[in-house]
Chains A and B, each alone.
Chain A
């Protein structure tokens, strides 16, 4: 199995705040990795570094074999241009906590925007594929609705379709169900479950421990900008070794 993501000694600072401390992790093709941890633990920051929404201050990150954001010249790392970074982002799809659908476009327009404007594919082809994707997330009948007319769960499913339309090699989910009403969480998780079973490589930051246990191959617990513990879902959820993991799991469980 080859690595889709490989991070070596990542460090990230927000002014004085040390958000990521020497984080190293690998994700193999087809693997589903769930990251859990308290808020401010750096789990979203790690995810955003993979997609270059945040710049890495030290260390290196490879996505699909390509060094992210930098070019090696001698023993220095030179920053890439905006256009090169935009191209690198094409290999990853991202789903946000707050959906971030484009409100001035219908569901279908949201999904075809990237394929047509960025990948320069023909509108006809893009439309067909987008319609299929929307059907896959159960929203074929909502394709002409604007985001404001959709429920949170429906918006998040459109957002997943929008990310998939770019045919990414890796999907990133940043707390995809945290902004949803409880009764809408299930429909989004079910789409993500199907996606995981289809063999998509996924990194999921989540608080849904049940989902994580069912779907993930591997779990990571982060706290204070570090990976505290990593292992199978059973390792982390049933028999955590680190006391910080133990107290987090028991706090979330109740």
Chain B
């Protein structure tokens, strides 16, 4: 290739490069046609749903009216009280069962295993009915000669619901707590022992606080489902939110309106709980380092 040809080639190249100056081109983001398609689909569906509700047999005025009616608010309060009491009791039972389950004592271990098997293995609604009808097996409860009480007067809907929900919850929580305890490094048990801690103190001071990080998210989840499970107690006449809503619509036949009222309140309670859960998670993240 001679000098002349090389220069000619160079000139040619410069010309094509100048022909399109890429620095001046506009950048166009990619178009997501799929998203636009599905968004449209959802909007159409929602519009249809809204139309169905608007044209359906729903008197919107009733919802506003019953949302703060006395019976509904009492039901809400009972739902909240029952959720909290049953959950607290359930967690206590769960922690004790988990510790028994991991004990070196085979008797404690098998008691825990049998309890979990029994109460996870039968439907909650069946357990609630059993507690409520306990008088059929034990007409009287107490220590003979010391004190005795009629089971029928003891097993109010409140007591039966509390027992049924918390004992059932305990069986589930036990497994969650056990998973949490297992997640703590064995070196932590050894370190606690090495400074002279007996087993239970080591569990309380060293192991459980660390296990909490693993335990809280699923227990929060269970708490949320507990709020809704209290509605099953309506079958044993406990005056919780759904039960009271039903009582109202049996009288006035506004079924949909009252179900929506109850739904709004359940959602509200669960939303508050979710916030509480994230606060609690922060509390027990001490010394754990950053996690996204």
Q: Is the CB of A94 within 8 A of B289?
A: no
| A148-B287 contact in complex given A96-B187, A96-B190, C-beta closer than 8 Å | yes
Q: Tell me, yes or no, whether A101 is within 8 Å of chain B by CB.
A: yes
Interface residues on A, range: 20 to 34
Contacts A104-B210, A147-B287, A148-B289 given; does A51 touch B196 at CB 8 Å: no
Residue of A at shortest CB range from B195? A114
Query: Is A199 at the interface (CB under 8 A from chain B)?
Result: no
- Residues of A contacting B197 with CB < 8 Å? 86, 114, 117-118
A146-B286, A147-B287 known; A83 vs B198 contact (CB < 8 Å): yes
**Contact partners of A104 in chain B: CB under 8 A:** 209-210, 284, 286-288
Given contacts A102-B206, A104-B209, contact A163 B195 (CB under 8 A): yes
A96 to B191, CA, bound (A): 8
Q: CB within 8 Å of B: which of A8-46?
A: none
Interface of B is mostly: helix
A166 close to B (CB within 8 Å): yes
The contact size tier of chain B is: 20 to 34
List B contacts of A101 (CB < 8 A).
191
Contact A100 to B198, CB < 8 A, known contacts A113-B205, A146-B286: no
Contact flag A89-B193 (CB < 8 Å), given A82-B198, A102-B188, A148-B288: yes
Complex interface: chain A residues within 8 A of B206 (CB): 102, 113
Give bound CA distance, A221 to B196, whole Å. 29
- Give the distance in Å from the alpha carbon of A118 to the alpha carbon of B193 in the complex: 11
**In contact, A86 and B288 (Cβ under 8 angstroms):** no
CB distance from B286 to the nearest CB of A (A): 5
B292 contacts across to A, CB distance below 8 A: none
Chain A residues with a Cβ under 8 A of chain B: 51-53, 82-83, 86-87, 89-90, 92-94, 96, 98, 100-106, 113-114, 117-119, 146-148, 159, 162-163, 166
